[in-house]
Amino acid sequence: MNKSHEHIVIIGNGISGITTAREVRKKSSQPITVISAESDYFFSRTALMYVYMGHMKFEHIQPYEQFFWQKNNIGLVKALVTKVDTSVKEVQLDNGEPIPYDKLVIASGSKPNTFGWPGQQLKGVMGMYSKQDLEYLEACSPGCKHAVIVGGGLIGIEMAEMLHSRKIGVTFLVREAGFWGSVLPSAESEMINRHIREHHINLKVNTKLVEILADSNNNARAVVTDKGETIECQVVALTAGVTPNIAFLQGSGIELGKGVKVNPFLETNIRDVFAIGDCAEQHEAIDLRKQVEAVWYTGKIMGETLAQTLCGNRTAYDPGPWFNSAKFFDIEYQTYGWVWPTPRENEVQFYWEHPGGKKAIRIAYNKNTRTFLGINCFGIRMRHQFFDKVLREQLTVDTVLQNFEKANFDPELFTTYENDIRAAFQKNHSKLMTANGY
């Protein structure tokens, strides 16, 4: 156990900040203070939707009981950090005495993107990121008959599911030709389009927001699209991605770009100041990743990594093979490795879709070496450990398909499709059975 007395102050009680606090506490008894203006206790941001839908109460999305924090001696302060003064090593709050730090961790997360749309400041217009956003949506829901969602990504489809669960009509504006077209290849995107419509969401692809119209009380009353259509609504959800929440750091001397600039050790340009999670921006992108990664899993890995450094074991952020997951209404999505919307140089993609139209697999591999590059899975669960090994050891696509049964993570008794998938692969991608054993 590390006996250091250095005070670690963490700005933000999301997954990154809390992971840091927990991991430091496992190794060290030094004082830790976590500051958040958003909530008293850590909660799972990705689960906010389930509170609105009535699957859970807010208390259920808090992974630790309240006694946990005191028992583990992790100090919690509910305040908004207004300024960081790195010269005297303290953070200033909106509601109390400044808090001095020895080590400062910035884990302040994101805020929803807005692009200067006319009317974006009206009442009834919102993003969906924070607990306050959810409370605002809750406040706007009574009397809301119709809502318009702008932005066809992960938060947009979650909002569609949320609003639909309360029997509020939804029009979903998507700029691209299909849902999440910037990430998903067109076949998968088309599959999700169909599923969105199956849930009675009015999906409008290739459609942009032009402006939001107000009524006499400054409430949003309709949106106008670039197709010249005016859609009556009481709620407008702006879900076109997120951007680092770092305005309070302006003038602090900490180097800022899109986010807080960090090196691979998650260190900023100022000694003893670190940044992790959504708000951190790598100087250089790591493998094929983005410089700012606003993903639950990467936030968690950064928190674990930084805790090592804070406890004396300076460790670089090494997230390993990319993975992610989501759920689009009833269709689960998992991805391992890289599958781009269109194949890159020397890449081939193999796509299989179940005749029912709700399960699909896309595998990307190198056409010269046949190295497996990545997989998109829809409606079929896959084993993380299997693909982590495949990607780390750079095994071939043929090996993967030969051992495909081992990859399956669906519940017992489920129908399996390995043979169908292999047969489809063999038709056009041959060479399957010549591979070496796994």
Shortest Å, Cβ 397 to other proteins = 21
Which residue number, 200 or 271, has a Cβ lying nearer to other proteins? Answer: 200
Which residue number, 84 or 242, has a Cβ lying nearer to other proteins? Answer: 242
Contacts of 358 (CB under 8 A, 6+ apart): 191, 195, 330, 331, 378, 379
- How many CA atoms lie within 13 Å of 26's alpha carbon, on the beta-carbon side? 9
Cα 322 from Cα 387, distance rounded (Å): 10
- Identify the residue whose tokens are 């692009």: 115
Positions that interact with other proteins (CB under 8 A): 15, 22-23, 25-27, 44, 46-47, 50-51, 53-65, 67-68, 71-72, 131, 134-135, 138, 141-143, 165-167, 195, 198-199, 296-297, 300-301, 304-305, 308, 320, 323, 325-327, 329-330, 332, 334, 381-385, 388, 409-415
Which residue number, 51 or 99, has a Cβ lying nearer to other proteins? Answer: 51
Which residue number, 47 or 435, has a Cβ lying nearer to other proteins? Answer: 47
Which residue number, 15 or 214, has a Cβ lying nearer to other proteins? Answer: 15
Cα 391 from Cα 429, distance rounded (Å): 20
Shortest Å, Cβ 331 to other proteins = 8
Which residue pairs, CB below 8 angstroms and at least 24 apart, start in 223-226?
A: 223/119, 223/148, 223/150, 223/173, 225/173
